Structure 1
Amino acid sequence: MRAPLAWLQDFVEIKESAETLATRLTMGGLEVESVEREPTPESPLAPVLDLYVTPNRGDCLSMVGVAREIAALTDRPLTLPSIPSSQIGGEAAQQTSVRIEEPDLCPRYAARIVRGVRIGPSPKWMQERLRAAGQRPINNVVDVTNYVMLELGQPLHAFDLKKLHGECIVVRRARAGETITTLDGEERVLSPDILVIADADRPVAVAGVMGGANSEVGDATTDILLESAHFHSLAVRRACRQLNLRTEASYRFERIVDPNGVIRALDRACQLLAQIGQPEAVPGVVDIYPCPIQPRRLDLRVARAARLLGVPVSAQTCLDCLRRLGLTVTLEDEAEKLLVEVPTFRPDLKLEEDLIEEVGRIHGYEAIPERLPVGTTTLGGDSEEHKLLRRIRTVLVGCGLQEVMNHSLSGPSLLDALDDEARRVRVRNALSSGVSLLRRSLLPLLVETVRRNLARGQSNLALFEIGRVWQWEETADGAREPKEYVRVGGVLYGALCSPDWTQHGKPEPADFYLLRGIVEQLLKALRIDHAAFIPLEQPERFPQFHPRHTALVRLTDEAFDGGILGELLPDYAVALDLRERLYLFELSVEALQAALPKEDKPYRPPSRFPAVTRDLAPRIPPDVLYKQVDEAIKTLQLPILEAVRLTDVYTGEPLPEGWKSLTLSFTFRSETGTLTEVEVNTAVERIRHVLEERCGAVFPA
């Protein structure tokens, strides 16, 4: 906003230079972006302040508003224009009528009538002030409405009274299919979301934005109806957005105009019209104000002001600063509490903290001494969750995976069946369907990352991501609220290593066992040694996964899954244009955290004695899983058994159908001495016996 100093001096004495005043205003919270020099007949270079007004300070979009700030910051009196007040009703109410159909969008509408006007240029002094403030002079009637808007901050509009059908005003929503040609010559299609000013038959203005050409003041105009109203900021903003139209009036209404300054602006316009030689207005004013907006009342505790500002302030200082801003303040002596009545031209003052901020900026932020912060210092450190995430990253990078970061917003995907529709968290007013959901799994976007890389010639991919997911959960009282979780997910596609590092030039592609090995390596590095990999018992829960090449990860004995790993079903891979098999895993970081050992494992030095290895090749029935074999061996709790490895699985002739022959390699070692043949043979026999008894194993002769 442009504010000429010559105009501001009508309301407040300015002793400082323009540059000094600009610095004082900026330090007080009203930023001056530049000081310009405007040539005028009185002064070749008259200074003009170019102000940046924040959206919450609509009161500063006027000369009086800026002058009030200058008066408060410099502690000088503010002189407001002397405006004769008009009587509500009177003769004007007999010559026109106003009806508000949408009081929520237009709480107040007032009108005055001036008859016998002569359209012509406005006086030179008015044109010069308008130009200095960035407005183009048009004619005497329009210039007066713009002058009042710049002076008092209240937009006005003048209608040609004879062009209004029925000589009445109706404030209503536009009807479906209605159009209006605005003053800029554009025909605009209106929707029922837009508030309009209408006569008895048609819209004559878009409320708070721009008038219509069908009621425009022209050279032949003799009678005018002056409008001054208060429109809801959201209604004006909605109309501007839909019509792609911004004006000086809408700029102010969007930042809230004083509802109790409506009549004063009308009276000022009529006063100026008479001053520049136009007829006196018809006595009286039509004022429709069904629910008057009252000033807000707030309390200000002086002690709290001192705490927030960080400097001692007295009750008198607070009272003086607020009164200089035009607020009505009374002091309760005993409690040192101020009772503040906030005028309606300051709708931004809603809380006690807002008043304290006003005290701070008027008293002067530069008056607050600089002090180093005082407090107890503590040793910094990382959280347990971040420590765990750092360990996970280290392990997965060591396994050859590369970390990626995807957006937390996602859209519909072929992998969405992993999610329960009712548990998805949707985004209100999403910009597009591709960002309409908070992701509930990392896997869909990881798969999309694979597809994007394939389209750019990358054929061997091993990726992982650590990120947050969201889903609706029921609380203890039966309500639903979105919950946030942390997951680690990964994908393998193609080979894990480069062809340069293989003997025959073609590396082996990733498979389920490589994927499981990576997950096992992660669990081993985290010292989670009690995890179980459980085959899918309900494959319909995970229709995208291959039912025979998928496992759930159980990390504790509690009834929740630590995660899932497996192969994407080939049908889905074809639908996603994937030529190779794709393997995925996703683990719950919360479950990993819960499964971590509670105590550090004590250090045990390696044994000085040699190890002994033995192999067994039990034949296992079709319904027995390797997990059962492993658990059966663990039940023996053999102190000399150091490790068990599954080295081979054989099916086919001469084994019966479905049976498997497992090659198990056992490592035995003692910490106290070299093992004897008898000790090793005894341990092997116990293993054979438990496998025969618990797993139905058969050992060849």
Structure 2
Amino acid sequence: MRVPIEWLKDFVQFELSPAELAERLTMAGLEVEELDSTPQGEVLVLYITPNRGDCLSILGVAREVYALLGNACQPTPLFERLNTLILNPPDPDPGEATHYARVEILDPDLCPRYAARVIREVRVAPSPARVQNRLLAAGMRPISNIVDATNYVLLELGQPLHAFDLDTLQEHRIVVRQARAGERIRTLDGREHAVAPPMLMICDAARPVAVAGIMGGAETEVTPHTRNILMESAHFNPLSIRRTARALDIRTESSYRFERFVDPTLVLVAQYRVCELIEEWTGVAAVPGVLDVYPKPYPPRELTLRLARAEQLLGFPLGDAEAQAVLQRLNMRPEPSGKRTLRVQIPMYRYEDLKREVDLVEELGRVLGYERIPESPPAGVSTQGKDSPEGAFVERVRTILLSAGLQEIVSHTLEPKNPLQGSYPVELRNPMSDELRYLRSSILSGLVSVADYNRRRGIVDMHLFEIGRVFRMGDEPGSYQERLALGILMTGALHPPHWTGKPREADFYALKGVIEHLLAMLGIEAEFTDALPHGKEEQFPDPRFHPGRVADVIANGKWLGRLGELHPTLQRQYELRRRAYLAEFDMEPLHALALHEVRYHPLPTQPPVLRDIAVIVAQEVPVARVFTTIWQAGGEWLESVRLFDRYTGAPVPEGCHSLAFSLVFRHPERTLTDEEVNARIEAIFDALQREYHAQPRR
């Protein structure tokens, strides 16, 4: 916001130098980024925070100067007159304006107020030189007396205005409604836009003639041939303006202000002021009356301020008269309401900013000066800091996976629509862009995106993991669930090339081995099963995984996660040159089932007994179930089971395979005999034959 000091002094007279004024404003929270010297004089370049849209005007800054300087400045008659109109707006009178135009609001939620005035038989010409110089100093280009008047009032009061050529409006009507599918509009910048609901449009009887609160249409603009004007002044929903401006990629002085909330009482004040200036510059008065449609007025807001509480928060004593004087200069009209208690009326231009008692305390602090807060060292008892149990577990999992040779990544929790999302992703109400529209519902989407990013730069061997938050819609409408998830991606060679031979490629079993290592280090005994549906919202079969190369991990009846090969369709879509293998785990059940203490066992004192067995079993029987049966039948002396060979072909029957296992038996207190071990081997063969019709190979 550029504020020419010469223009500012139309509202408040003061003796401070520009540098001193800049220092006072900055210390009060209205940061002056630069003092710019122009042919029109010194200009304050202000950074306005989003909550202070009322300061996007000369009058708004003048109010701040008056509040800060108090008796050291003098408000001008113009300041007093406009300030009184804003605090006590007059009742509108339609007068003769109804003979020349009509206004209708079809969507009062997006446009709570719209006012129009008519100016007839006016001559479009250049504006006065003084006005042009002020506009140039404020960063605006002079165009004509009518357009310059709207821009002048926008800068002066902070209320955007727009002038239509009344004769180009069909039926001389204004209809404020949402855009309809298929409608288009060419704006003043010459660009043509396709508009659609819920974008708010200013229309005549047949078509959109302006994008509400953002930019007017080229077909109804004021030209040198214009004679009759319809002047628009309105109040729009900030969120609607922000969404439409972003969707159409249009940023204007008007949209910048409407996005930050504009005082709805300014609608009429700006109308009176702009018509006053046009009459002063052209000698043509507006048609008596104003068409003011205000279907949804804002209710007034009053807050209670306890001065004792203000002293407690600010840390310095506060006089009752002093506090009332500050609030009075801020147009809050304080009234006593009990012992050291004030009832404060919030002016409409601070409606979105001052909502709680603590906001009023902040106003007192910044106007009186934070330098009044006494300097004292912090005092109190500090607690010993440590990580949360969840954070400590995350670090434990991270350490295990790093030791397994994986590399950690951190991806964004916001993402575009993608095929790796779940069924019901959480969509943001006001996304910054389409690329950041959804909260991720799966940790896998970030991993695959990183793999795609690196693949485009020639890196094809990647073994990655990420631990992060994922989000899904909740059971209640409008609610969502947030949980911590672990994702793993492996693709390409498992180690760099070596002269001893070609490196092994990552496959399903390499990923399974990493997961088995993780579970073993966490002390979790789990089994790998066929993928089954879990959660009421999940698609099944899971479209992210190859349908024949996917498994679930189950422990104590709880679903821990899923692993498998990336679906070939998605592999082609992301143009990954090699097969990619993914795993996703819910950290909550992992944390619940993990052992949180280290358990040590003494070294064995007795010798082991080794046995190798081989069985022929149908290929449709999961090997994991064979392992389970061997462990159960082997008894308490069975120490380890390892699959060391798999064979198909003659003489093994078709549809079967031969599985060879290495078994280790050990008794903790004595040496086992051959007879004892052989009895256990026979029990294992019997169990496998009984459950799977397996045939031993002796």
Tell me which interval the TM-score lies in, with the shorter structure as reference length.
0.7 to 0.9
2:327 aligned with 1:322: yes
- Residues 623-651 of structure 1 show CA distances to partners (whole Å, capped at 9, x for unaligned) of 68564555554566546x55444444556
Asked if 1 retains the 8 angstrom alpha-carbon contact of 2:103 and 2:291, the reply is no
2:670 aligned with 1:666: no
Corresponding residue SS for 1:662: strand
Which residue identity does 1:99 align to in structure 2? V
Q: Identify the residue that residue 43 of structure 1 maps to in structure 2.
A: none
Q: Identify the residue that residue 302 of structure 1 maps to in structure 2.
A: 307
- Specify whether residues 548 and 651 from structure 1 end up closer, same or farther in structure 2 by C-alpha distance, changes over 3 A only: farther
Which residue identity does 1:366 align to in structure 2? E
Q: Which moved more, 1:630-639 or 1:259-268?
A: 630-639
Which residue identity does 1:349 align to in structure 2? D
- Specify whether residues 693 and 179 from structure 1 end up closer, same or farther in structure 2 by C-alpha distance, changes over 3 A only: closer
- Residues 31-80 of structure 1 show CA distances to partners (whole Å, capped at 9, x for unaligned) of 2222233446xxxxx43323333343333233332221111001135334
- Residues 555-597 of structure 1 show CA distances to partners (whole Å, capped at 9, x for unaligned) of 22x2x32233455678987887777665444433223222213
- Specify whether residues 381 and 168 from structure 1 end up closer, same or farther in structure 2 by C-alpha distance, changes over 3 A only: same
Tell me how far apart the structure 2 counterparts of residues 568 and 89 of structure 1 sit (CA, whole Å): 69
Q: Aligned-pair distance for 1:486?
A: 3.2
Asked if 1 retains the 8 angstrom alpha-carbon contact of 2:176 and 2:202, the reply is yes
Tell me how far apart the structure 1 counterparts of residues 381 and 661 of structure 2 sit (CA, whole Å): 63
Identical columns (%): 39
Q: Identify the residue that residue 387 of structure 2 maps to in structure 1.
A: 382
Correspondent of 1:349 among 336, 342, 353 = 353
- Residues 411-458 of structure 1 show CA distances to partners (whole Å, capped at 9, x for unaligned) of 677777xx6x4x554566778887766554445654565566556555
Asked if 2 retains the 8 angstrom alpha-carbon contact of 1:108 and 1:259, the reply is no
- Specify whether residues 368 and 278 from structure 1 end up closer, same or farther in structure 2 by C-alpha distance, changes over 3 A only: same
Q: Superposed, which structure 2 residues align to 1:12-411 within 5 Å? A: 12-39=12-39, 46-76=41-71, 77-81=74-78, 89=93, 92-93=96-97, 96-102=100-106, 104=108, 105=111, 107-111=113-117, 113=119, 125-126=130-131, 128-135=133-140, 146-155=151-160, 163=167, 170-173=174-177, 186=190, 191=195, 193-196=199-202, 198=204, 209-210=215-216, 216=222, 218=224, 227=231, 229-234=233-238, 248-249=253-254, 251-269=256-274, 278=283, 287-289=292-294, 292-334=297-339, 336-352=340-356, 353-408=358-413
Asked if 2 retains the 8 angstrom alpha-carbon contact of 1:615 and 1:665, the reply is yes
Q: Superposed, which structure 2 residues align to 1:505-516 within 5 Å? A: 505-516=501-512
- Specify whether residues 132 and 389 from structure 1 end up closer, same or farther in structure 2 by C-alpha distance, changes over 3 A only: closer
Asked if 2 retains the 8 angstrom alpha-carbon contact of 1:632 and 1:690, the reply is no
- Specify whether residues 403 and 225 from structure 1 end up closer, same or farther in structure 2 by C-alpha distance, changes over 3 A only: closer
Q: Identify the residue that residue 691 of structure 1 maps to in structure 2.
A: 684
Which residue identity does 2:104 align to in structure 1? I
Q: Aligned-pair distance for 1:534?
A: 3.5
Q: Identify the residue that residue 613 of structure 2 maps to in structure 1.
A: 617
Say what the alpha-carbon RMSD is for the aligned residues: 4.6
- Specify whether residues 680 and 400 from structure 1 end up closer, same or farther in structure 2 by C-alpha distance, changes over 3 A only: farther
- Residues 153-210 of structure 1 show CA distances to partners (whole Å, capped at 9, x for unaligned) of 445566677x4779955344498788888777x4866857453375x88877666544
- Residues 457-495 of structure 1 show CA distances to partners (whole Å, capped at 9, x for unaligned) of 5555443333444444547xxx68433333334344454
Q: Aligned-pair distance for 1:25?
A: 0.8
Q: Which moved more, 1:610-619 or 1:80-89?
A: 80-89
Which residue identity does 1:681 align to in structure 2? D
Correspondent of 1:524 among 509, 520, 523 = 520
- Specify whether residues 330 and 606 from structure 1 end up closer, same or farther in structure 2 by C-alpha distance, changes over 3 A only: same
Q: Identify the residue that residue 496 of structure 2 maps to in structure 1.
A: 498
Tell me how far apart the structure 2 counterparts of residues 645 and 547 of structure 1 sit (CA, whole Å): 28
- Specify whether residues 168 and 500 from structure 1 end up closer, same or farther in structure 2 by C-alpha distance, changes over 3 A only: closer
Tell me how far apart the structure 1 counterparts of residues 191 and 551 of structure 2 sit (CA, whole Å): 65
Asked if 2 retains the 8 angstrom alpha-carbon contact of 1:207 and 1:231, the reply is no
Corresponding residue SS for 2:13: coil
Asked if 1 retains the 8 angstrom alpha-carbon contact of 2:30 and 2:47, the reply is yes
- Residues 233-279 of structure 1 show CA distances to partners (whole Å, capped at 9, x for unaligned) of 54665676677665555554444443334444444455556666836
Aligned residues: 669
Which residue identity does 2:603 align to in structure 1? P
Tell me how far apart the structure 2 counterparts of residues 122 and 319 of structure 1 sit (CA, whole Å): 43
Q: Aligned-pair distance for 1:310?
A: 4.6
Tell me how far apart the structure 1 counterparts of residues 209 and 385 of structure 2 sit (CA, whole Å): 66
Corresponding residue SS for 1:328: coil
Which residue identity does 1:75 align to in structure 2? G
Asked if 1 retains the 8 angstrom alpha-carbon contact of 2:188 and 2:221, the reply is no
Which residue identity does 2:14 align to in structure 1? I
Asked if 2 retains the 8 angstrom alpha-carbon contact of 1:92 and 1:284, the reply is yes
Q: Identify the residue that residue 465 of structure 2 maps to in structure 1.
A: 464
Tell me how far apart the structure 2 counterparts of residues 220 and 574 of structure 1 sit (CA, whole Å): 60
Tell me how far apart the structure 1 counterparts of residues 478 and 92 of structure 2 sit (CA, whole Å): 54
Tell me how far apart the structure 1 counterparts of residues 147 and 416 of structure 2 sit (CA, whole Å): 52
Which residue identity does 1:606 align to in structure 2? L
Q: Superposed, which structure 2 residues align to 1:513-662 within 5 Å? A: 513-528=509-524, 530-534=525-529, 541=541, 551-556=551-556, 558=557, 560-566=558-564, 583-597=581-595, 599-601=597-599, 603-607=600-604, 609=605, 611-617=607-613, 619=615, 622=618, 625=623, 627-628=625-626, 630-633=628-631, 638=636, 642-649=639-646, 658=656, 660=658, 662=660
Which residue identity does 1:691 align to in structure 2? I
Tell me how far apart the structure 1 counterparts of residues 285 and 609 of structure 2 sit (CA, whole Å): 115
Asked if 2 retains the 8 angstrom alpha-carbon contact of 1:156 and 1:226, the reply is no
Superposition TM-score, scaled by structure 2 size: 0.78
Tell me how far apart the structure 1 counterparts of residues 547 and 107 of structure 2 sit (CA, whole Å): 63
Asked if 1 retains the 8 angstrom alpha-carbon contact of 2:185 and 2:195, the reply is no
Asked if 1 retains the 8 angstrom alpha-carbon contact of 2:146 and 2:278, the reply is yes
Tell me how far apart the structure 1 counterparts of residues 307 and 217 of structure 2 sit (CA, whole Å): 48
Tell me how far apart the structure 1 counterparts of residues 145 and 542 of structure 2 sit (CA, whole Å): 76
Tell me how far apart the structure 2 counterparts of residues 570 and 288 of structure 1 sit (CA, whole Å): 60
Tell me how far apart the structure 1 counterparts of residues 575 and 296 of structure 2 sit (CA, whole Å): 64
Asked if 1 retains the 8 angstrom alpha-carbon contact of 2:34 and 2:46, the reply is yes
- Specify whether residues 526 and 159 from structure 1 end up closer, same or farther in structure 2 by C-alpha distance, changes over 3 A only: closer
Corresponding residue SS for 2:673: helix
Corresponding residue SS for 2:348: coil
- Specify whether residues 340 and 533 from structure 1 end up closer, same or farther in structure 2 by C-alpha distance, changes over 3 A only: same
Tell me how far apart the structure 1 counterparts of residues 697 and 162 of structure 2 sit (CA, whole Å): 104
Corresponding residue SS for 1:497: coil
Q: Aligned-pair distance for 1:330?
A: 0.9
Corresponding residue SS for 1:230: strand
Unaligned runs of 5+ in 1: 41-45
Tell me how far apart the structure 1 counterparts of residues 530 and 129 of structure 2 sit (CA, whole Å): 90
Tell me how far apart the structure 1 counterparts of residues 223 and 549 of structure 2 sit (CA, whole Å): 80
Tell me how far apart the structure 1 counterparts of residues 241 and 127 of structure 2 sit (CA, whole Å): 29
Unaligned runs of 5+ in 2: 534-538
Q: Which moved more, 1:369-378 or 1:266-275?
A: 266-275
Corresponding residue SS for 2:334: strand
- Residues 380-420 of structure 1 show CA distances to partners (whole Å, capped at 9, x for unaligned) of 2223333333333333333333334445456677777xx6x
